[in-house]
Structure 1
Amino acid sequence: MTLLASPHSVLTVLSHRPVDGLVDNHERYARLHGYRHATVDGMHVYGERQQVLHKYHTIIAQLVAMEPGALLLVLDPFSVVFDPHALPDVAHGYDAIVTTQTPKSALPAASGMIFRNVPDVRERLRKLVVELGKWAMRLPERQHACEATLLAECFPPLPFDVPLANGHFPSVQTIWGDGLAIDSIAGVRPLVAHNAPEWRQVDDGWAPAADYDFRYVIALVDDAERYQRGDRTRAIDTWHAAQRRTRDAEQHVNPHAPVAFVSLHTSHIAGYGDLHEENFVRYCTRHGYAYHAYREAPAFLPAGIDANWAKLHLIREHLPHHAFVFWVDADILAIDQSQAIDSTIDGRDFVIGTDHTAWAINSCMIGVRNVAPMRELVERICARIESFGDRSSVYASGGDQQAIYVEMLASGMIDARHIVDAMTLASSPVYATRNSRFVHFPAQHNHYRAVTMRVWDRLSHQR
């Protein structure tokens, strides 16, 4: 007997290039239940507003082609199917399901929406695209709107952190500005877990987070795959286990090589520091570079100088023994390990990268040549750092970057001879690809920084 195909469908709308494994995650869910899966590539549509309008036209086109009463799950580049519940179970008692973007926000997230093909839903979608069209064309009556505000008018969102009347969590935001749910999603078993950018009011308009990247989506794809295999290991437990591991105080690879990298990662960040170390041991061994890894603050550091404040002091310690020394943060990986660093330092005595945000420099990687003027510069930066009265956090007193910038400015070094772009040294995930030599993973909840780095590290074994 041939089973009839399910009337329900899954729609993946791509406004941005999806992370590895995302569309496979959507396709696997549809195939499990016999749902039709359609992937619509909207990356050719120019402009953020037209992309949004195109998405809702696509939703309508898919819905009207379905059987009456059939359900449509709408997924996007931020959405991951976590626990593959059947759509009729999740949507039981509902014709439309749209959930909030954060626990305290009245605005919806447009990720993991469910629509039933009934006249009322189709009419609400029709009205929505009319209003989105006004917004897309920047008509005065919608000048202060955004996708989320207009979506909320037609489909008032349900709180994502409260189960539906049928007991299901349809779509859960995992990380937002002042909170996270990513550690508890395995317990609540949502159909969809997402990390859609949070809409915020800026001046008189709405905008998503300015420095959003897809790191948590990458982590969610990995989490969902493990969860669906029956692996219930939590990232936070793996993180704590790494902190408890016994480690030697330091490791030195090729200690007499001309070019060296130095890093410091104490036990509290061992969850990703150990990943960084293994990765850089491979990279430096391959290219014949030195690598000095400190797992405890070494005794030669002055009192009160540790963690993020010790970068220039560690360079100072090793500079007499090498021709060129790089500081490298412990949340950096060498992804395309075939790329050497030599061409970047040829003709340069000092090199630091620009940040991908508004910072003029980013001290995640700093390279210094063993010549007298640079040794003197390092001494001045170390002295300035030691003079700061407050070193209680990464950004206290302006952070180490402030000390570096001020001394570079005083030396006439704030120029393209010494400062490169945001990709030549360590690229942020905002820009990074599998072809990036080094990738930096800043400003992430630490245990999920480790998850994301572990996923990216797999790419480093391919080059």
Structure 2
Amino acid sequence: MASPHSVLTVLSHRPVDGLVDNHERYARLHGYRHATVDGMHVYGERQQVLHKYHTIIAQLVAMEPGALLLVLDPFSVVFDPHALPDVAHGYDAIVTTQTPKSALPAASGMIFRNVPDVRERLRKLVVELGKWAMRLPERQHACEATLLAECFPPLPFDVPLANGHFPSVQTIWGDGLAIDSIAGVRPLVAHNAPEWRQVDDGWAPAADYDFRYVIALVDDAERYQRGDRTRAIDAWQAAQRRTRDAEQHVNPHAPVAFVSLHTSHIAGYGDLHEENFVRYCTRHGYAYHAYREAPAFLPAGIDANWAKLHLIREHLPHHAFVFWVDADILAIDQSQAIDSTIDGRDFVIGTDHTAWAINSCMIGVRNVAPMRELVERICARIESFGDRSSVYASGGDQQAIYVEMLASGMIDARHIVDAMTLASSPVYATRNSRFVHFPAQHNHYRAVTMRVWDRLSHQR
């Protein structure tokens, strides 16, 4: 007999590769009906949210009395495919918190039972969401999370239900992460939904939130369901212990060169970057200089993130054009050469994808006298900083680059390109991007994300 339960996938954004397949595979395993509703055609953030809950009601009322509905979204991945009746045993509605310290819910991995009380609470929720969507005064300071909490008080995601199950677990939030404990708690759903915070009189997610971080969860879930219990941090620690030569040089006399430095503490993704760029540079005949520890020619106190311009300075006399490239950058569409980008330019750097005029993850310099002098000035400024204790101390190397470019009259479109021409953030990136930058992520999980994207580089 067919199961009465259902899985609903509501798409407000284009999902990452494999996400809907993950939902469909779960439904098929248990014989549940799976419905996918595309809400991307609904214009307006609030209207999309309102549409989602109308969709939930429509699905629920069409089901048998007492049947369960699992609601998934573009942030949700089925991790351990428990049966819905087991996870929901003793509960008619399950909505969990967005962070351990928040009283607000995350609308990912919700479970509703088709009973009169739940249907009535959903009806009331839709009315209030409608007021919010129409910006009526009594709801102007609300958001989906606050209204959802009024009708379905959330359960803490980091505490098991009375039946022992974890229904839906947030994996990353502003001041923490649950990545390495997912396999231990075996949640039905793992998600990376945006954390909503009150900003002035409104609500907003983090400005640099990248929902495609979910691609790593899809990969994690697939490996877990195959029986692979390796944690991201285990692979990370193994990479740190690996014996490596101090440096590697590919095509060392080529006109165009890339140079990078990644020490053992970031080998979990640095080695992946290196393998990726060796393939890219070999394909196009570029030079690639990879340092696995700070080289002896660096001045005392200049290491890791502060050494970019010093490494460019070291290699510039031997090439026509030298790029620094961060170790958290991958060449995804490896068919795209860099020549057209540097043609007619003596210096090139990208705009940051947030609020900064430049991003120092990639810097390109031509071997001509004015640029050699600029590099010297930037190196001298970096060496003059009293505090280089962290990436962002004294404004970081980015501040030194900006100040010297400003003094040289170079803060303009001759030298600064958009946030995608050099290294695109995953927020903007696609499988057609030449270079993709993976900044500001927890290190050992950054390696997981980069590994998934690196597979695309092999496909291209």
Instruction: Give the secondary-structure state (helix, strand or coil) at the position aligned to 1:236.
Output: helix
Distance across 1 between alignment mates of 2:352 and 2:3: 49
- What's the offset of the Cα at 1:210? 1.2
- What's the offset of the Cα at 1:391? 0.1
Distance across 2 between alignment mates of 1:215 and 1:407: 35
Distance across 1 between alignment mates of 2:49 and 2:414: 42
Distance across 2 between alignment mates of 1:44 and 1:315: 47
Distance across 2 between alignment mates of 1:255 and 1:113: 55
Distance across 2 between alignment mates of 1:353 and 1:315: 17
Question: Over residues 277-323 of structure 1, what are the superposed CA-to-partner deviations in whole Å (9 max), with x where a residue is unaligned?
Answer: 00000000000000000001000000000100000000000000000
**Quick check: 112-121 or 205-214, which moved more?**
205-214
Distance across 1 between alignment mates of 2:212 and 2:136: 35
Aligned to 1:282: 279
Distance across 1 between alignment mates of 2:241 and 2:173: 29
Q: Is the 8 A contact 1:348 1:417 kept in 2?
A: yes
- What's the offset of the Cα at 1:205? 1.2
- What's the offset of the Cα at 1:424? 0.1
Distance across 1 between alignment mates of 2:459 and 2:235: 25
Tell me how large the CA RMSD over aligned residues is. Answer: 0.5
Distance across 1 between alignment mates of 2:302 and 2:248: 20
Q: Is the 8 A contact 1:214 1:429 kept in 2?
A: no
Distance across 1 between alignment mates of 2:212 and 2:300: 36
Aligned to 2:386: 389
Q: Is the 8 A contact 1:53 1:136 kept in 2?
A: yes
Is 1:246 the counterpart of 2:243? The answer is: yes
Instruction: Give the secondary-structure state (helix, strand or coil) at the position aligned to 1:184.
Output: helix
Instruction: Give the secondary-structure state (helix, strand or coil) at the position aligned to 2:238.
Output: helix
Aligned to 1:129: 126
Distance across 1 between alignment mates of 2:129 and 2:369: 62
Taking only the aligned residue pairs, the percentage that are identical comes to 99
Instruction: Give the secondary-structure state (helix, strand or coil) at the position aligned to 1:98.
Output: strand
Q: Is the 8 A contact 1:250 1:294 kept in 2?
A: yes
Distance across 1 between alignment mates of 2:402 and 2:260: 20
- What's the offset of the Cα at 1:234? 0.6
Q: Is the 8 A contact 2:193 2:211 kept in 1?
A: no
Aligned to 1:333: 330
- What's the offset of the Cα at 1:215? 4.3
Q: Is the 8 A contact 1:422 1:428 kept in 2?
A: yes
Aligned to 1:45: 42
Q: Count residues with an aligned counterpart.
A: 460
- What's the offset of the Cα at 1:214? 2.6
Instruction: Give the secondary-structure state (helix, strand or coil) at the position aligned to 1:53.
Output: helix
Distance across 2 between alignment mates of 1:201 and 1:103: 17
Structure 1 spans left out of the alignment, 5+ residues: none
Q: Is the 8 A contact 2:194 2:211 kept in 1?
A: no
Distance across 2 between alignment mates of 1:61 and 1:30: 19
Q: Is the 8 A contact 2:245 2:292 kept in 1?
A: yes
Structure 2 spans left out of the alignment, 5+ residues: none
Distance across 2 between alignment mates of 1:14 and 1:185: 24
Question: Over residues 311-365 of structure 1, what are the superposed CA-to-partner deviations in whole Å (9 max), with x where a residue is unaligned?
Answer: 0000000000000000000000000000000000000000000011111100000
Instruction: Give the secondary-structure state (helix, strand or coil) at the position aligned to 1:415.
Output: coil
Instruction: Give the secondary-structure state (helix, strand or coil) at the position aligned to 1:261.
Output: strand
Question: Over residues 28-68 of structure 1, what are the superposed CA-to-partner deviations in whole Å (9 max), with x where a residue is unaligned?
Answer: 00000000000000011111100100100000000010001
Distance across 2 between alignment mates of 1:188 and 1:207: 30
Distance across 1 between alignment mates of 2:374 and 2:212: 36
Q: Is the 8 A contact 2:104 2:154 kept in 1?
A: yes
Distance across 2 between alignment mates of 1:155 and 1:214: 24
Instruction: Give the secondary-structure state (helix, strand or coil) at the position aligned to 1:461.
Output: helix
Distance across 1 between alignment mates of 2:335 and 2:213: 27
Q: Is the 8 A contact 2:11 2:39 kept in 1?
A: yes
Q: Is the 8 A contact 2:323 2:365 kept in 1?
A: yes
- What's the offset of the Cα at 1:216? 3.0
- What's the offset of the Cα at 1:208? 1.2
Question: Over residues 160-197 of structure 1, what are the superposed CA-to-partner deviations in whole Å (9 max), with x where a residue is unaligned?
Answer: 01111111000001100001111101001000000000
Distance across 2 between alignment mates of 1:379 and 1:181: 44
Instruction: Give the secondary-structure state (helix, strand or coil) at the position aligned to 2:180.
Output: coil
Q: Is the 8 A contact 1:101 1:173 kept in 2?
A: yes
Distance across 2 between alignment mates of 1:78 and 1:112: 9
2:207 to 201, 205, 210: 210
- What's the offset of the Cα at 1:387? 0.1
User: With structure 1 as the length reference, what TM-score do the two structures score?
Assistant: 0.99
2:419 to 422, 432, 435: 422
Distance across 2 between alignment mates of 1:377 and 1:412: 11
Distance across 2 between alignment mates of 1:9 and 1:257: 59
Instruction: Give the secondary-structure state (helix, strand or coil) at the position aligned to 2:108.
Output: strand
Question: Over residues 381-415 of structure 1, what are the superposed CA-to-partner deviations in whole Å (9 max), with x where a residue is unaligned?
Answer: 00000000000000000000000000000000000
Aligned to 2:437: 440
Question: Over residues 81-139 of structure 1, what are the superposed CA-to-partner deviations in whole Å (9 max), with x where a residue is unaligned?
Answer: 00000000000010000000001100000000000001110010010010001101111
Instruction: Give the secondary-structure state (helix, strand or coil) at the position aligned to 1:347.
Output: coil
Instruction: Give the secondary-structure state (helix, strand or coil) at the position aligned to 1:429.
Output: coil
Distance across 2 between alignment mates of 1:327 and 1:416: 20
Distance across 1 between alignment mates of 2:459 and 2:284: 16
User: With structure 2 as the length reference, what TM-score do the two structures score?
Assistant: 1.00
Q: Is the 8 A contact 1:216 1:448 kept in 2?
A: no
Distance across 1 between alignment mates of 2:288 and 2:189: 42
1:15 to 9, 12, 16: 12
Q: Is the 8 A contact 1:215 1:452 kept in 2?
A: no
2:115 to 94, 100, 118: 118
